[in-house]
Amino acid sequence: MHVCLSYPRLILILIPFFVLSTAGTIRAQSSARYTLVIHGGAGTITRANMKPEMEKAYLRSLEAALDQGEKMLASGRTALDVVEAVVRLLEDDSLFNAGKGAVYTHAGEHELDAAIMNGKNLMAGAVAGVKTIRNPITAARSVMEHSEHVMLSGRGAEEFAKQRGLEGVDNSYFHTESRRRALERALEAERKEAKEKQVPSAKNTAMKNDWKYGTVGAVALDQYGDLAAATSTGGMTNKKFGRIGDAPLIGSGTYADSLVAVSCTGWGEFFIRMVMAKSLADRMRFGKQTLTIAGHELINIELPRMGGDGGLIAVDRNGEPIMPFCTEGMYRGFVRKLSGAALSQRQVAIYKD
Ligand code: ASP
């Protein structure tokens, strides 16, 4: 077939490419495809208890994270680089329960967990219970790339991060007033409950009362077809005894292989028992379930059946994103560019509806 393009027609076809490249944000070839999905935690997040300025601030932060991630994906950076960079950005954002803004432990400190996994080669790294590393996700990546281990914890992880030249901070760097008040409310509720029902003090009332949301995570499919996942958290308000959640446990809160990348948020003990992220991958690989069905069954049926709550984000090798959750809300968003499309699709959301 002979196709003849007149000069004005050619100009019309070229305009979208010109606009995008001069805008400086999306410079990918139109044949390139990529997806980035992010979360900022799941929990009792309702319109009724959200101030309009807070809502705006959260949406701004989610948009900024997607902007940064998309710029990187469009310019050809790997999924691994992108999930680390995006989670770092969210760690530095005091709105979220990761890095600056992490929740308080029972002892009035901050103990952070993070993990990263490269679906391309199944390499993974994690840190748990660290108190002085500014960006735990970068420490997790460093464990993956510069040690022979997968997970380091506490003092040892901090020593390793120091040797690698990562930025250290005083534990007070992570402080925010709102997280301090959340601890006070949790302690008060715990005292009340212990008095009324004689509940042993090892129980964490905050888990039931849902003062835990704000964990952050990112999963991505890059232009080369590779997947990666990253999760970072301060854990749960009022946690005790060196409690570690699901986020740094490879296969529970974080997982990536050649089919899917997953990052979870919610009541960690349940995600650990369900080996949530790997269960999703297994349902796809061995059960031949689609991403959407596997995610729905795990989060909306199995998790509540066990008594837990939360959500997850995932992306499969086709760039299909999912963001299921069984709580009232989940800070979340995705950007996806299909191959051949000039523009990407984007969504950010907080509530269920
Ligand atoms: N899953 C995290 C934990 O249990 C908390 C959260 O995602 O809100 O440590």
Instruction: Report whether residue 233 contacts ligand 1, using a CB cutoff of 6 Å.
Output: yes
Give yes or no for residue 244 CB within 6 A of ligand 1. Answer: no
Residue with CA at minimum distance from ligand 1 atom 4: 268
Buried-state track 188-199, b at ≥16 Cβ within 10 A, e below 16? ebbeebeeeeee
The rounded distance, in Å, linking the Cα atoms of 215 and 100 is 12
Tokens linked to 180:
């301090």
Average pLDDT over all residues of the chain: 90
pTM, two decimals, is: 0.89
Domain segments of the chain: what residues? 34-351
pLDDT at 3 over 80: no
In 10 A of CB 38, how many CB atoms? 30
Q: Which atom of ligand 1 is nearest to the CA of 271?
A: 1
Q: Which of 130, 204, 215, 252 to mutate to test the pocket of ligand 1 (most atoms within 8 A of CB)?
A: 215
The CATH label, of 3.60.20.30, 3.40.50.850, 1.10.10.10, 3.30.365.10, for the domain at 34-351 is 3.60.20.30
Distance 252 CA to ligand 1 centre (A): 11
Instruction: Using the mean position of ligand 1's atoms as its centre, give its distance from the Cα of residue 186 in Å.
Output: 16
What is d(CA 332, CA 328) in angstroms, rounded to the nearest whole number?
13
Integer Cα distance of 301 and 306 in angstroms: 9
Helices (H), 75-135: 79-91
For the question of residue 215 being annotated catalytic, the response is yes
Distance CA 328, CA 70 (A): 28
Q: Report the range of poorest mean pLDDT among 26-30, 112-116, 141-145, 274-278.
A: 26-30
Q: Would the CB of 266 count as within 6 Å of ligand 1?
A: yes
Alpha carbon distance 70, 55 (integer Å):
22
- 120-166 pLDDT per residue, tens: 999 999 999 999 999 999 999 999 999 999 999 999 999 999 999 99
- Shortest-distance atom of ligand 1 to CA 268: 4
Kind plus residue range of the DSSP H or E element containing 164: none
For ligand 1, say whether the CB of 129 is within 6 Å of any of its atoms.
Answer: no
Beta strand ranges found along the chain (DSSP E): 34-43, 112-118, 123-130, 151-153, 216-221, 227-233, 254-256, 260-266, 310-316, 321-322, 329-337, 345-351
Distance 20 CA to ligand 1 centre (A): 38
Ligand 1 contacts CB of residue 321 (under 6 A): no
- Write out pLDDT tens, residues 198-243: 655 555 554 555 555 689 999 999 999 999 999 999 999 999 999 9
